[in-house]
């Protein structure tokens, strides 16, 4: 009963932009795709019924570091794995925890073996390594597993970035070795999940690092390809570098990634960033912006961003976005949404989050359609022009 953990077929191209279908054991995902972030096993302020129904999110992201600390690997394992624990039957990608550990700063110590740190929850000492990350992600049962990496800041020097990249390459090989051991063990044990497939059929993605240094990024990619992964990600961007630097890295690295494997840009970004990255050959995205900004009163629209706290919206009877057909825009006015936010009603964050997710997911649908119809270049220019005008208007 041996099957590939995923298949990826490119069905249309327009320049470097690609439209395809990513098939996992739990469902098909049309690409380019935006993955809502469910760090703790929940996409904040959003019910799964909405994600599955109106929003039709085909895949979500969860985080190894946070779920490892709370509720813990054994709890999730005893509850039947992450899918059963949270009640989500569609694909899940789990981040490795590398970025979260890196972001702890002075609270962590990185060595060849892994990372020692103190839990942000209770201060207890913890140790996360490539092997531990693979073991945790195996217990979670995610469909796509990320290799454990070390992230250098965007402005890292050549030497610091090289040290980080080389450590990531060694950790990638250790991640791959332990991942394969766990997959073989699961298959030998004949463990089954709720969909009838072997638990061992997970996919593993490698992560390209190297900060803003293109030579290091290329070397990082070469070393990952030599190991062999089911997909490849660009990590360590949107961590303080200028946006132009980020675009330059994507433009150089994405087309060099294996053409028959999905390409994933981690933790980026605004709708404009997503469209720009698609034009450079990227297939998969995740970002906390739609949920985080929704909770703080900011809405993304087809004509740029709206800060619902502005007094100009106090009696504005228009929807957030007159071009949007989500249930929030069909039912509620800007005035009402501002009222909810200003009075601290939790429904305000819920509604803005729902709309923002609809905006991101609809943007990706329109991107896919434009690639398939051969009109992506025009779509991109019109999309970026509209958003540039909104920035000028403020």
Active site (annotated) includes residue 283: no
Could you tell me the sign of the dihedral formed by the alpha carbons of 114, 120, 125, 126, in that order? negative
Burial environment of residue 253 by CB neighbours within 10 A (0 to 12, 13 to 18, 19 or more): buried
State the catalytic residue, choosing from 149, 273, 286, 321.
Answer: 286
Residue tagged active-site, from 14, 95, 193, 230: 95
Q: Is 95 a catalytic residue?
A: yes
* Residue that is written with structure tokens 């005035």 in the block: 335
Which residues are known catalytic residues?
A: 95, 286
């Amino acid at each position: 009963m041996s099957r590939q953990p995923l298949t990826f077929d490119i069905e249309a191209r327009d320049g470097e932009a690609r439209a395809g279908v990513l098939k996992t054991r739990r469902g098909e995902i049309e690409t380019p795709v935006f993955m809502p972030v469910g760090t703790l096993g929940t996409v904040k302020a959003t019910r799964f019924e909405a994600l599955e129904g109106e929003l039709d999110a085909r895949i979500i992201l969860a985080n190894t570091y946070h779920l490892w600390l709370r509720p813990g690997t054994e709890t999730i394992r005893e509850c039947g794995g992450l899918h059963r624990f949270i009640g989500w039957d569609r694909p899940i990608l789990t981040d490795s925890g590398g970025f979260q550990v890196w972001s702890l700063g002075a609270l962590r110590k990185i060595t060849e073996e892994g990372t020692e740190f103190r839990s942000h929850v209770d201060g207890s000492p913890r140790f996360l390594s490539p092997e531990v990350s693979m073991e945790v992600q195996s217990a979670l049962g995610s469909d796509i597993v990320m290799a454990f990496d070390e992230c250098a800041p965007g402005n890292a020097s050549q030497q610091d970035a090289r040290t980080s990249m080389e450590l990531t390459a060694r950790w990638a090989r250790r991640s791959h070795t332990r991942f394969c051991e766990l997959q073989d063990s699961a298959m030998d044990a004949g463990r089954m999940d709720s969909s009838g497939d072997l638990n061992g059929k997970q996919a593993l993605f490698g992560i390209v690092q190297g900060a803003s240094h293109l030579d290091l990024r290329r070397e990082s990619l070469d070393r990952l390809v030599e190991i062999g992964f089911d997909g490849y990600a660009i990590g360590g961007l949107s961590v303080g570098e200028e946006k132009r630097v980020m675009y330059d890295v994507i433009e150089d690295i994405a087309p060099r990634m294996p053409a028959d494997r999905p390409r994933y840009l981690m933790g980026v970004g605004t709708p404009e960033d997503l469209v720009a990255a698609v034009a450079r050959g990227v297939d998969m995205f995740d970002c906390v912006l739609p949920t985080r900004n929704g909770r703080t009163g900011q809405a993304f629209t087809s004509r740029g961003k709206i800060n619902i706290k502005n007094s100009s919206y106090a009696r504005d009877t228009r929807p957030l976005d007159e071009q949007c057909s989500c249930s929030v825009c069909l039912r509620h006015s800007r005035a009402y949404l501002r009222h909810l936010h200003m009075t601290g009603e939790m429904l305000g964050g819920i509604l803005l989050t729902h709309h923002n997710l609809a905006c991101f997911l609809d943007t990706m649908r329109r991107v896919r359609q434009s690639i398939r119809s051969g009109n992506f270049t025009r779509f991109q220019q019109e999309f970026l022009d509209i958003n540039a005008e909104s920035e000028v208007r403020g």
